[in-house]
Every structure is written in C-alpha cells, then in structure tokens.
Amino acid sequence: MGIGVDRGVTSIIGVLLMVAVVVVVAATMTVFVFDIGSGLESTAPNAETEYELVADGPERTVAITLSAGDGVATDQLYVVGSKELDIGGAPGSGTPANDQWASSRETFTESAGDNPPQVGIGPTWDAGETVYVDPVGSVDGVTITIYWTSRPVEGVNPGQPAGDYSYKLADFTVSG
C-alpha cells in the first residue's frame, strides 16, 4: 500500500512542478515582450531621391527631389556634406540656400528667428518636393548624404540628431 501512495504523490508533485514552470515561463515571456515593445523605435521611411544642378548666379546649387516613397517628417531629417553646405529654398526665392550660412550639418527645419523653415516644404517632405543645398565653393565632387533619425532633430542650425537610430536615406556624389 505504501508503493501506491508514493506513486500518487509523485504524480501530483510532477504536475504541480510542470504548472509552476509554465507559469514562470509565461510570466517571463510577458515581461520580456512588453519590455521590448515599449522600447521599439520607428523604422526608417522608404525614400528615393534624385538631384540636379540649378543655376545660382555664377555658382550652381544642388536641387534634391524626393522622387518616390513615403512622406518624411522634416523635423527628423538632416543633411551632411563632404564640405560645409547650407539648405534652403530655390535660388531667387525669399529663403535660398546660401553658402554664407553653411555648416557641417543642416536640418530640414532650419529657420532664422520665428520665420518658417527655409526649405519651404512644410512638416513633411513628400514625393515631388525639392530642397536646395548650396555647398561652399564648387559643387563638383561634393558628397551629400541625407539622414533620417528616429526622433526630431534637436536645435536648428546645425541641429543635433536625436533618438537611438539614424538611417541614411540618400547618398550621392555630385558630378557635373
């Protein structure tokens, strides 16, 4: 009779241990999943760009157009060049890009004082819209890279990328 009771107790203990393990694993997975989910960053937008050179008095300015892809929040964009550059509106506009105000990094929301951003494209850069970049001196051989960051860029000129992630949306070397 003692053998049957031991086997019954062993079965109950085994079942209780299995239930306890399942509860612990489920609780651990729940904490893990919710912790990971709270820290997820946005994924970079899909964007295709084209550039062309436009006359700017005796110089040329690089006109960069978002040709296809997602609309991108301009406060999450910045541009970097292999030499200092300025971002702005079209040559002859009220807020043209001007190498006099060039820096190593320029935000798409650059503005002077309480004025609207110089690029003049609004809160998102949508397909078909163009921004203008004026590198110091000649545009020939200048590499221009546009980055998207997971949070709005802090500050205005040159701005400091924010967030945990920064992705290269476009990268090209100007020839012409």
From residue 112, alpha-carbon distances to 109, 118, 125 in Å are 10, 8, 20
37: pLDDT strictly greater than 60: no
Domain ranges of the chain: 1-40, 47-173
39: pLDDT strictly greater than 70: no
Distance CA 115, CA 98 (A): 16
- Residue 80: the pLDDT is 92
Residue with the larger pLDDT of the pair 55 and 159: 55
Distance CA 63, CA 133 (A): 6
pLDDT tens track for 90-144: 888 888 888 888 888 888 887 766 777 778 888 899 999 999 999 998 899 999 9
Residues 6+ apart with CB under 8 A from 42: 150
- pTM for the complete prediction? 0.73
